[in-house]
Each structure stands twice: as C-alpha cells, then as structure tokens.
Amino acid sequence: MKYHTQMEAAKKGIITKEMEIVAKKEYMEVEKLRALVAKGEVAIPCNIYHKSLSPEGIGTGLKTKINVNLGISGDCKNYEVEFEKVKVALKFGVEAIMDLSNYGKTNTFRKQLIEMSTAMIGTVPMYDAIGYLEKDLVHITPQDFLKVVEAHAKEGVDFMTIHAGINRRAVEAFKREGRKMNIVSRGGSLLFAWMEMTGNENPFYEYYDDVLEILRRYDVTISLGDALRPGCLEDSSDAGQIGELIELGYLTKRAWAKDVQVMVEGPGHMAMNEIEANMKLQKRLCHNAPFYVLGPLVTDIFPGYDHITSAIGGAIAAASGADFLCYVTPAEHLRLPDVSDVKEGIIASKIAAHAADIAKGLPHARDLDNKMAEARQKLDWEEMFEVAFDGDKARDYFESMPPAEKHSCSMCGKMCAVRTTNRILEGKTVELHEE
C-alpha cells in the first residue's frame, strides 16, 4: 500500500522504518507507537527529502525532546558561526533545530543544514517571506506565502511553524482584551500587521487546506504557532491566548483529516502555579496533540539568566504533559546568542527535559542517574566524567583545584562522607589528621 505521510501509513496499519527506529529509541512496542501516530498523539516529523535524518518521535509516552533556534539575521550574517552552533547542538544530542533565518537568500544555509543534520529541521516560513520574495509586507499575496511554504518543503524541512490560529476573530478578541506586551510572536506580529494593512483574513487560515496539501505531499509536520502567546506574566492565560488555543484545536482536527501530522505550540511567559493547568487545558482542547512550548519563563526580571527561568518552567511543563521544549539562552531578550549561549541554553533545556522524564516515570529514564550514583559511591572519577552529560566541564572543574587526597574532591578532602562511610563498612579506621 502506498502512503504519503507517517500518519496515513499508521492509519492504514503500516509500520514504517521510521516508526521502527523511534520505537527502539523509546523502548516502546512498535504497534503501540503506530497506534499513537494514527491518533495524532505522536508525531514523527520526517520530510521525505531529509535523507540524513535520524527520526525522533514527539508526544504521548515518549521522552521529552528539545529544539535549538539559530539562523542568519541582518545583524549577524556569519555563516561559520551559525554552523558552529549546529555542531554544538548535534554534539549534545538535540532532537531538533529550527532555522529562523530572516536575511537574504536563506535557502543556501538551510540546504547545507538539512544535508548535514541528523536532527529534524524546522522553519517559520513567515520569517523568510520578506527576504525570499523581496517584497514589502503589504505587497505580499496569499499565493506568495504558499510559495514560501512549498519552497521550504521541497528543501527537506521536517516541520514548519504556521500561525494559522490568529484569524480575524482572534484579532478582535486580542484588541478588545488589551495587553501589557501585546503580540510578542515575530511571525504572529507580521501576520497581524499584514491583516491590518490589507484588511484581509490570515492567509494561512483562509487557505489552510492549500497549506495542508503542500505539507502532506512532502510529509511535513505542521507546528501550529501560538501568535498570541503571553510575553509577560501579566498576559498569561488571558482570553487572547486561550481563544487562539481553541482555534488551534479546530485546526488540529482539520490537519489530521488530511493525514498531516500536527504539533501545537504554547506559552511563553507564565507563573509557575499556572503551568500545570495550561498543559492539561491544551491537551484537552487540542485532542492530545503533541505540545511544543517555549519555556515557559516563570519570571520576567532575570535577563541574562533566562535559560534558568525557562528551564524551571520547562521542567514543570514537561512533567505536566508538554512533549517538546524550545530552548532559551542567556541572551534571550538581549541579543542574538553566540556559541557559548547556545551551549548554556541546550544544557538548561536538557536538564528540564530529563528531570521531567524521570518525574513521568518513563522507561530507563533513571538509568544514567543510577550509574552516576554507583560511580560516586565508588569515588570513580573517570566513570563519573563518562556518565556526566557534559563530562568535559565536570573534568575541568575537578582538575582546576585538585585534591590532596586522591579519592575525594577539594570540597571535603579526607572528610568526604562517601570515603568515610566506605572505609568504616570495609572495616577500616578513619584518620583525619596527618602524622
């Protein structure tokens, strides 16, 4: 039997090679995975033209995945630096990279990225429209926007953020509600401006069936963008955000009817006590589609440390049902991140994802934690560095202030609790003073 998308195959009872790979990675029976893909509760974003991809699943019962944002901008046109960021992302095992390039002919960078990346690649066609089409925003037609979507699909992009939920009804609700931060989504703000300047409906909403047909042809997963996500704590869980979420639930079912895989995007900035309820509400309104969240950032006053505010929110979100975390770097709200910022953002997001997987009790989630405990109990430093997620950094810290006592660190020396207990249990004495 022929099929166009992973979802179509799953509905027909076909187990694809991508499903087999994902099931093995996730310690899940492949038939169970197929059923989840058929229902839309798991997405396997894998464009038919992305040949270097190592497929990953996102959704119910699977490990929490993370995404890294990078790309070429007008203020930073250094392709070599962006590819250094890609190398760091792949080194630390990120599952997805979003190319948010918005300057010049971005397809040169994107094609090279897709060719080399084992991680899935995402884009926001709206970002690229102005540079790709070389037109002012007001002069872009709905058909122009569709051309950019198809161009990205042909290049091998695995998932695309499409802000289809900010229709005229949602815009009216947003304007009526009033907000401290208004619209902070870049793609959402551009669509809002286009709609206001032209007087037309959101082209991605009006021509949604055409968008889905393009995505189905190449098996591109649609990531339904949250144009009205909150950009500060005060705007979280307001009518604009929830109203758009209701629209995204409707658009999710329309995509599934066309066998197009779906992810739904979520907040944003949000106080800790609101996160769990938002995750459950999204799953309810969007029919258990995979949920992709930015943060949430749990406070607004720590620029320079927003990788931490995001990791706190991300851990709570993923433990409460979110499936996919978009990393945030220390440079968030301040500037384009450099290579060091990218690494810090990845580590923070990986901590959040891993902590959530442990909390959710996923199979084998604690395996490495148990190995680390065993290595520490033995005071086996080499094994600790081997098990550590960033073993190089752990080794650098340890060796920067070497202990006088071999089987300890410079924090406790001979007073190391592990050393003391081991010696007593071995029938030895504990001597703390030099003779």
pLDDT digits (tens, 9 = 90+) for 217-253: 999 999 999 999 999 999 999 999 999 999 999 999 9
Mean pLDDT value of segment 179-200: 96
Q: Which spans in 27-106 are helix H?
A: 30-39, 79-91
Residue 27 has pLDDT above 50, yes or no: yes
Our CA dihedral for 128, 71, 161, 31, rounded to 10 degrees, sits at 140
Q: Yes or no: say if 203 and 142 are a contact pair by the CB < 8 Å rule.
A: yes
Q: Yes or no: say if 75 and 46 are a contact pair by the CB < 8 Å rule.
A: no
Residues of the chain above pLDDT 70, percent: 98
Residue 23 has pLDDT above 90, yes or no: yes
Q: Yes or no: say if 223 and 265 are a contact pair by the CB < 8 Å rule.
A: yes
Binding positions for substrate are 69, 98, 127, 163, 185-187, 226-229, 265, 292
The pLDDT, as a whole number, for residue 76 is 66
Residue 435 has pLDDT above 60, yes or no: no
Name which of 100-104, 291-295, 346-350, 417-421 the model is least confident about: 100-104
Cα-Cα end-to-end distance for the chain: 81
Q: In angstroms, rounded to a whole number, what is the distance separating the alpha carbons of residues 380 and 384?
A: 6
pLDDT band at residue 105 under the 50/70/90 scheme: low
- The CATH fold assigned to 6-360 is TIM Barrel (3.20.20)
pLDDT band at residue 366 under the 50/70/90 scheme: very high
Q: Indicate the domain borders of the chain.
A: 6-360, 366-400, 402-435
Residue 324 has pLDDT above 60, yes or no: yes
Binding positions for Zn(2+) are 269, 333
Residue 83 has pLDDT above 90, yes or no: yes
Our CA dihedral for 227, 194, 335, 315, rounded to 10 degrees, sits at 10
Residue 416 has pLDDT above 50, yes or no: yes
- For residue 377, what is the enclosing H or E element? helix 367-377
Q: Yes or no: say if 262 and 221 are a contact pair by the CB < 8 Å rule.
A: yes
Q: 213 to each of 1, 119, 174, 258, 387, how far by Cα in Å?
A: 20, 24, 30, 8, 45
The pLDDT, as a whole number, for residue 431 is 84
Mean pLDDT value of segment 119-129: 93
Binding positions are 69, 98, 127, 163, 185-187, 226-229, 265, 269, 292, 333, 409, 412, 416
Residue 374 has pLDDT above 90, yes or no: yes
pLDDT band at residue 433 under the 50/70/90 scheme: confident
pLDDT band at residue 205 under the 50/70/90 scheme: very high
The pLDDT, as a whole number, for residue 74 is 66
Residue 106 has pLDDT above 80, yes or no: no
CB count in 10 Å sphere of residue 105? 13
The pLDDT, as a whole number, for residue 29 is 98
The pLDDT, as a whole number, for residue 104 is 62
Residue 66's DSSP bridge partners are 325
Q: What is the mean pLDDT of the chain?
A: 94
Mean pLDDT value of segment 359-372: 97
pLDDT digits (tens, 9 = 90+) for 251-309: 999 999 999 999 999 999 999 999 999 999 999 999 999 999 999 999 999 999 999 99
The pLDDT, as a whole number, for residue 345 is 98
